[in-house]
Structure 1
Amino acid sequence: MPIEIAPVIEPGTLAATPQPTLHTPDGELRLRAFEPSDAPAVHAAFQDPTLRYWHARSMETPAEAETWAREAREGWDKESSAQWFVTRSSDGAPLGRMALREMDLMEGFAEVAYWMLPEARGQGAAPRALLALTEWAWKTGFHRLEIRHSTRNEPSCRVALKAGYELEGTRRSSALHTDGWHDMHVHVRIAPDGHRTDIGRCDLST
């Protein structure tokens, strides 16, 4: 049955070129494709109890981290996901990860996901890296970007709001964590909506 709408992003657009390296406007942060040599840093990241809790994932061995890094790169070629390693530009120190998951080029949609190493939290790196990723997504042709996080995850909520992702609503009991089902906030940016300053707050009491 023919589809009567054209793809928002033509399939093959991403895979036809290498994954780009992104920079924040101040030049302090660099977002690049994962490399095999990043495995030790990825393994170390997943030893953090907070990261493991919110992502419901564990990583016991460096070999698992090597597989993870390889699959992160393969997502670009398959046009199913795009993941960047966030580093400090001055010395290459690892800071975290930014990603577009569940990419749907037909509808120009992707879910944004991120994590930061403990030493990189609370310094504004996450929202700045998220803005760099968002700007790239708009230039590439994505129409709608979503962030989903547990209503109990206040730091993730702050990152989303600082990067202009407005709270659209709550998906009740929609994500299973190790301690049971969590309600999930949905933050959204639609292209092009600019960087609004009149964004609301998350109600973290629900």
Structure 2
Amino acid sequence: MITPTELRAAATADFPALFLRPWRQEDVPALVEAYADPVLRHRTADPVCGEADGRRWVEGQCRDREAGLRFGFAVLEGETGPLVGGVVLKRPAPGGPSAEVGYWTAAHARGRGVAPRALGALTDWAFETFAGRGLERLDLLHQEDNEASCRVARKCGYLLRGTLPAAPPEYPLSGHLHVRPATRA
């Protein structure tokens, strides 16, 4: 079993360090506020549409973490700062060669390097934590029209491997598959 973990991503010249920790019920108001952004709702498969939705969403994150299926992290500016995003490692099957990562940035924090710094911290943690359990690569999927996610993927060493066809209703648009091997050439 993987215990709750806290991660850090370094500050930049212009922006403070990031603190990544498991989701908590106290995050619900900020989560609901972040999901009020139509861009975020459009880009995510599981939107949060209110307080009750937010509570269920956080409970699901906690349950999945305990089961070892999904490791979601709230991304904060500093240890007590505002919520600026989220990152997740999905389905790291014991002995399986791959897992999937995902991320989002709150509208008020976009353009500040939140996604690449948080994804970089998650990527390093995933390979350190699961390499001995057979993890060889991380997959990153996003809608084909999401150029910002392509930039984040490239910054973090995830190589574009191909375009996947749409699979409505869950994936109404075609998407990009980026891959990051455990060891980079």
- Report if TM-score (shorter chain) is over 0.5: yes
Give the gaps of 5 or more residues in structure 1. Answer: 1-11, 195-206
Q: How many angstroms apart in 1 are the aligned matches of 2:65 and 2:80?
A: 26
Q: Distance in 2 between matches of 1:125 and 1:63?
A: 27
Give the CA RMSD over aligned residues. Answer: 1.8
2:181 matched to which residue of 1? 190
After TM superposition, give the deviation of residue 90 of structure 1 in Å: 5.9
Selected match of 1:167 from 160, 164, 172: 160
Is 1:157 aligned with 2:150? yes
| 1:148 matched residue in structure 2 | 141
In the TM superposition, what are the counterparts of 1:78-157 in structure 2 within 5 Å?
78-89=67-78, 91-140=80-129, 141=131, 142-157=135-150
User: TM-score by structure 1 length?
Assistant: 0.80
Q: Give the structure with the higher percent helix.
A: 2
Give the counterpart letter for 1:19 in structure 2. P
| Residue 21 (structure 1) shift | 0.1
C-alpha distance in 1 between matches for 2:111 and 2:123? 20
Partner of 1:4: none
Identity, % of aligned positions: 34
Structure (1 or 2) with the larger CA radius of gyration: 1
1:57 is displaced (CA, Å) by 3.7
Partner of 2:150, secondary structure, is: helix
Kindly report structure 1 stretches of 4+ aligned residues shifted beyond 3 Å.
Answer: 174-177
- Look up the match of 1:48: 37
Kindly provide the CA deviation profile for residues 146-182 of structure 1, in whole angstroms up to 9, marking residues without a partner as x. 00011101111111111111101111224546xx831
User: 2:165 aligns to what SS in structure 1?
Assistant: strand
- The equivalent residue for 1:23 is 8
- Number of aligned residue pairs: 177
- Return the offset for 1:67: 1.3
Question: Are the equivalent residues in 2 in contact too, given 1:144–1:191 (CA < 8 A)?
Answer: yes
Take 2:26 and 2:79, find their aligned partners in 1: how far apart are those partners?
Answer: 18
User: What is the DSSP-based 3-state SS (H/G/I as helix, E as strand, rest coil) of the residue aligned with 1:181?
Assistant: coil
Contact 2:162 2:177 in 1 (8 A): yes
Partner Cα distance (2:38, 2:98) in 1:
31
1: CA distance between counterparts of 2:138 and 2:10? 21
Give the drift of 1:65.
0.4
Checking the alignment, whether the CA contact within 8 Å between 1:175 and 1:184 is kept in structure 2 is no
Unaligned runs of 5+ in 2: none
**Cα distance in 1 between the residues matched to 2:172 and 2:51:** 30
Using a 3 Å threshold, how does the CA distance of structure 1 residues 160 and 182 change in structure 2: closer, same or farther? Answer: same
Shift of 1:62: 0.6
- Please, what TM-score do these two structures have when normalized by structure 2? 0.88
In the alignment, is the contact (CA less than 8 A) between 2:165 and 2:175 conserved in 1?
yes
Alpha carbons of structure 1 residues 81 and 156: separation in structure 2 relative to 1, 3 Å: same
The 8 Å contact of residues 159 and 179 in structure 2, kept in 1 or not, is answered as: yes
- The secondary structure found in structure 1 opposite 2:39 is helix
Cα separation, 2, equivalents of 1:45 and 1:145: 26
